[in-house]
Amino acid sequence: MPSEFDLIKRFFTRDTPGALLGVGDDAALLAPSPGMVLAVSADMLVEGRHFSPNDGPGTVGHKSLAVNLSDMAAMGAQPRWALLSLALPEADEVWLKGFAGGFFGLAEKFGVELVGGDTTRGPRNISVQIIGEVPADQALRRDGAKAGDEVWVSGRIGTAAAALAHRQGKLDLDPLEAASCLPALYVPQPRIALGLALRGIASAAIDISDGLLADLGHILERSSVGAEIAFDALPVNDVVGARLDSDIVRRCVLAGGDDYELCFTAPASRHGKIAALAEVLELPLTPIGRITAEAGLTVLKDGQPLAVGATGFDHFSS
């Protein structure tokens, strides 16, 4: 039976040229680049809550890092380092090899170095802390939206939630439809390039993890503003778009979560820059509404307010 330290050495020790000291001591030693401040975030994935015991370990490894990278994108930060803590029911080397493959495959894509962490025995639980850097005066925050700003989203929303609803037996998709939605749930793509490009353009930003309305609501609260959103403007894929008359699909789009797209605001004068950015990044960027001086969030369909129930996912009420 391999020891905890054998597992760390075999599966999670890599070169860390961007750190003063990486894995192998009581703490890592890190130094941000000149003129940068650190952006730090952490997320936890619990088996049975955030992923199924039957999910492939490679996709779990990918997603555990992707959700953290998405936080860096929302801050306009360049990701640099990560710490990984794992609770494991047993030393399953096959599972660990697959998990590490998914984790490091994404880490290498974005130049992220694993510089520490912990392992213990227990129900499978994955905790990642991500550390990035950003010029202090260019960080994207939630508190900068102003009345008159446009509200934008990247990519397509509601896809991951539709895939989850299908997996739970709440939404019937044929095999081809399911195949077009499931990657959004299992291997979300963090919008790092977009976050970096939005420095100096966006007035506020957040990643869509708990649902469009819930996450946009955080911007509105921190910025002390309101918003009007056009339901018909929301960007969705063909599978979701064909079912928008369904209540469950509407909930997927408005409140489903797990999109890991960016929702951001920007002055209307920057509309052209953002449209050009979409072309450069080859990523759909869609204006979906506007910020208002009056508090509150209204979704309009055909010019009329749309009744909305739950606005997003909450760990203690869902």
Q: What is the mean pLDDT of the chain?
A: 92
Smallest Cα–Cα separation from 299: which of 220, 203, 224, 223?
Answer: 220
CATH architecture of 150-305: Alpha-Beta Complex (3.90)
- Bridge partners for 45 per DSSP: 126
Q: Is it the case that residue 280 has pLDDT exceeding 80?
A: yes
Domain positions in the chain: 4-135, 150-305
Contact (CB, 8 A) for 199 and 270: no
Strand order in the sheet with 36-46: 36-46, 125-135, 78-88, 113-121
pLDDT digits (tens, 9 = 90+) for 196-247: 999 999 999 999 999 999 999 999 999 999 999 999 999 999 999 999 999 9
Strands 113-121 and 262-266 turn out to be: unpaired
In this prediction, residues 20-48 reach a mean pLDDT of 90
Query: Among residues 196, 203, 241, which one has the least CA distance to residue 219?
Result: 203
Per CATH, the number for 4-135 is: 3.30.1330.10
| Predicted pLDDT at 15 | 76
In this prediction, residue 314 has a pLDDT band, given cuts at 50, 70 and 90, of very low
- Quick one: CA torsion of 102, 105, 111, 117, rounded to 10 degrees? 30
pTM here is: 0.92
pLDDT higher at 11 or 176: 176
* 150-305 has the same fold as 4-135: no
